[in-house]
Amino acid sequence: MRENDEELNKIIEKKARELLRGASNDVVELSEDDFDEFIRSRKVVVVDFWAPWCAPCFLLEPIIKALAREMPCVGFGRLNTQQWPEVAAKYGVMSLPTVIIFRDGEPIDFVVGVVPKKILENKIKKVLNEN
């Protein structure tokens, strides 16, 4: 019986860690290795394609972070296109910043350049409400 208690405790601890990780909706720094898994991790995912030399990208970053806090049901990630150009090329990213909104792992909508928070928020909500 004691062995079962240990096993049960391990399962409970693992679940608690998963729930805590899901409780905060931080923007995830993505790589080529975890990109595909991430865009399939939730129904709707938003990915910001950026580069360190891109000044407008830094203007968009706080908008993405604010939306991540306000929209916990949506996954938010950032991909450094300088480090991972193959991923950017796969999705036809030609200008920075580019934000792609994915649903069920597929690109549904996108925004090129820095836009007001409300515009990006409305595009995400539109994708959330489409079934």
Examine the pLDDT at 32 and tell me if it is beyond 60. Answer: yes
Q: How far, CA to CA in Å, does 113 sit from each of 35, 63, 81?
A: 21, 12, 15
Tokens representing residue 50 in the block: 């950026």
At residue 11, the pLDDT reads 78
- Looking at the chain, the whole-number percentage of residues with pLDDT higher than 90 is 79
Q: Nearest 5°: CA angle at 22, between 54 and 76?
A: 20
At residue 66, the pLDDT reads 96
Q: How far apart are CA 48 and CA 111, in angstroms?
A: 9
Instruction: For domain 24-129, give the CATH number.
Output: 3.40.30.10
Examine the pLDDT at 131 and tell me if it is beyond 90. Answer: no
Q: How far apart are CA 40 and CA 31, in angstroms?
A: 14
Confidence tier at 9 by pLDDT (50, 70, 90): confident
* Catalytic annotation, residues: 54, 57
Residue 116 DSSP code = -
Q: Using one digit for the tens of pLDDT, what is the confidence trace for 73-106?
A: 999 999 999 999 999 999 999 999 999 999 999 9
If phi > 0 it is left, if psi is from -120 to 50 it is alpha, else beta; for residue 104 that is left
Question: Looking at residues 41-59, what average pLDDT do you find?
Answer: 97
At residue 3, the pLDDT reads 54
Confidence tier at 130 by pLDDT (50, 70, 90): confident
